[in-house]
Amino acid sequence: MVLVPGKPAVAPSILPWLEAPLRQALAHSQGHALLIHGPRGVGQFELARALAAAWLCEQGQAAAGATDPATPRRPACGHCRSCQMIAARTHPDLQLLVPEALQVTLGWSGSDDAADGEGGKSKAKPSRDIRIEAVRRAIAFSQQTSSRGGDKVIVMYPAERMNAASASALLKTLEEPPGTARLILASAAPQRLLPTVRSRCQSLRLPVPDTAAAAAWLAGQGGAEPERLLAAAGGQPLEALERLALGIDASLWRQLPAEVVAGRCAVLAAWPLPLAIDALQKLCHDALCVAHGAAPRYFAAETVPRGADPAQLWDCGRELLAAARHGEHPWNAALAVEALVQRLGRALQPGSARPAASGSTDSLRQSQGDRSDRLAGPRSGRLSTPHPIG
């Protein structure tokens, strides 16, 4: 990375809908631990990084210290030495904990000290969890003296990926952080965190951004029909951008209902299994809405099949929900998608009879067993914390 004197090493920009939450967090976050939570795809990780950069920015520290230590920090300047090191992923007072499987996706890989990983030394499949060894390294990091004379910051994302042992190891540090250590936990599923972890954190909730602002941003990223892309992603712009990167554009999304009704699964063949199941769940949801006289949420009204039996759609929705719980299971993805498409396709047929109830995971296992000779092999929760921001 080339650093040009007088020029920002990294543009101090932030997603437009995160500007107000960043100012709110800088003005009101007085504790040592902050939990940023909200729907997946609205920018928890991006806000956590921007907040960490602001806390570590040397110009912001100098400005606050020259007036009153309690003066709210400003967003990172982008050109001081601290900001340069953050841009280069080499800041000695910043540690990032993410599962190995997410490091490349988040653009934060290659540093053993900054991320939860083994630097590619192990041949094992990259972990999807934040391991206790990484948490212990972060605790040791927090106990060391600051290299730059300011705060030390630990960012953990997604925080719900801590298992019980990892979370328990972190509790003492959350309750009594050493020195100037500050922790930012970012999560799309805070209900999966231990209550004792949540209770030790100040809470900042990110809502789904305004549709107009998110659509304008998405259009700037090259997305045609951004409103339709946003609807497909539940209003979550970063989720919509991920889908667009996979080739899931508005035209393909519009074709999906007819393909499922016809029992054709080729349109979903290249999708990751959790994403394919999510799309089928949304189609089942919208068909149920239409069956009860309500407007669909994810698909254009003219593309949603009509006349299906609500009872059968309800049964199918339960099976899809069960399948979603096992979306990361090493199924044969092609067979799993085929079985689920055929199941939903039958449920969407007008006036179809209600089949005998069966478990979705059992259906997937049976489908793969019967056809192994032919093919080789939306979460929600209420969070209550005693320390809200704002």
For domain 16-205, give its CATH number from 3.90.199.10, 3.20.20.60, 3.40.50.300, 3.40.50.2300: 3.40.50.300
Nearest to 278 by CA among 236, 247, 330, 234: 234
Architecture (CATH level 2) of domain 246-370: Up-down Bundle (1.20)
Do the strands 33-37 and 152-156 form a parallel or antiparallel pair, or are they unpaired?
A: unpaired
Delimiting residues of CATH 3.40.50.300 domain(s) in the chain: 16-205
pLDDT of 353:
53
Task: Tell the residue number behind the tokens 């593309």, with chain if given.
Answer: 303
The 3-state DSSP class for residue 241 equals helix
Which one-letter DSSP state was computed for residue 268?
G
Name which of 340, 337, 368 is nearest 269 in CA terms: 337
Residue 298: its pLDDT value, please? 97
The pLDDT profile of the chain, 390 residues, written as one tens digit per residue, is 333 333 333 445 789 999 999 999 999 887 899 999 999 999 999 999 999 999 999 987 766 554 455 567 789 999 899 999 999 999 999 999 999 888 877 766 644 444 444 444 555 678 889 999 999 999 999 999 999 888 999 999 999 999 999 999 999 999 988 888 999 999 999 999 999 999 999 999 999 999 999 999 999 998 899 999 999 999 999 999 999 999 999 999 999 999 999 999 999 988 999 999 999 999 999 999 999 999 999 999 999 999 999 999 999 999 999 999 887 776 688 999 999 999 999 999 997 655 544 444 454 444 444 443 333 334 433 333 334 454
CATH 1.20.272 positions along the chain are 246-370
**H or E element that contains 205:** strand 202-205
Instruction: Please report, for residues 43, 47, 160, 273, 353, the alpha-carbon distance to residue 187 in angstroms, rounded to integers and kept in the order given.
Output: 10, 11, 6, 22, 42
pLDDT at 64: 58
DSSP, residue by residue, 63-131: HHHHH-TTSPPPPP-S-SHHHHHHHTT--TTEEEE--GGGTTTTT--S-TTTSSS-TT---SPPPSSB-
Global pTM reads 0.81
Amino acid 177: pLDDT: 87
Which amino acid is present at 160? E
What 3-state class would DSSP assign to 236? Answer: coil
pLDDT at 100: 87
